[in-house]
């Protein structure tokens, strides 16, 4: 059974357009996930740097109560949240 040539051409054109849109959407999704996963890793790195830095200072000063561990960890959590918000709302 022979289809009308116009219908075949119409389907071919629209399928190519749809496949291009899907490829562009996949690239946009990949950029989206890369941006936010990188942001998450950076925030974790900031917090871990504060925690390990505070632990090193506490062990170097030989204090019984981990003052620097608590203070630096809390400061780095606040800094990581500030950094994350700044990156999220950047234009």
Q: What DSSP string describes 10-24?
A: HHHHHHHHHHHHHHH
81, 48 contact by CB (below 8 A): no
Q: How far apart are CA 28 and CA 9, in angstroms?
A: 29
Tell me the per-residue pLDDT of 16-66, one tens digit each, with 9 for 90 and over. Answer: 655 555 566 666 777 778 888 899 999 999 999 999 999 999 999 998 899
Q: Which domain holds residue 70?
A: 26-88
In a domain, 38, yes or no: yes
| pTM attached to this predicted model | 0.67
Alpha-carbon distance values, 64 to 32, 42, 73, 76 (Å): 45, 31, 17, 22
In a domain, 54, yes or no: yes
Phi, psi of 2 (to 5 degrees): -95, 125
In a domain, 14, yes or no: no
87, 62 contact by CB (below 8 A): no
In a domain, 36, yes or no: yes
């Amino acid at each position: 059974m022979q289809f009308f040539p116009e219908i075949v051409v119409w389907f071919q054109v629209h399928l190519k357009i749809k496949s291009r849109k899907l490829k562009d959407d996949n690239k946009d999704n990949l950029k989206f996930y890369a941006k936010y996963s990188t942001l998450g890793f950076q925030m974790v790195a900031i917090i871990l740097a504060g925690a390990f830095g505070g632990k090193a200072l506490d062990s170097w000063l030989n204090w019984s109560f981990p003052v620097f561990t608590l203070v630096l960890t809390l400061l780095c959590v606040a800094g990581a949240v500030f950094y994350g918000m700044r990156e999220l709302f950047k234009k």
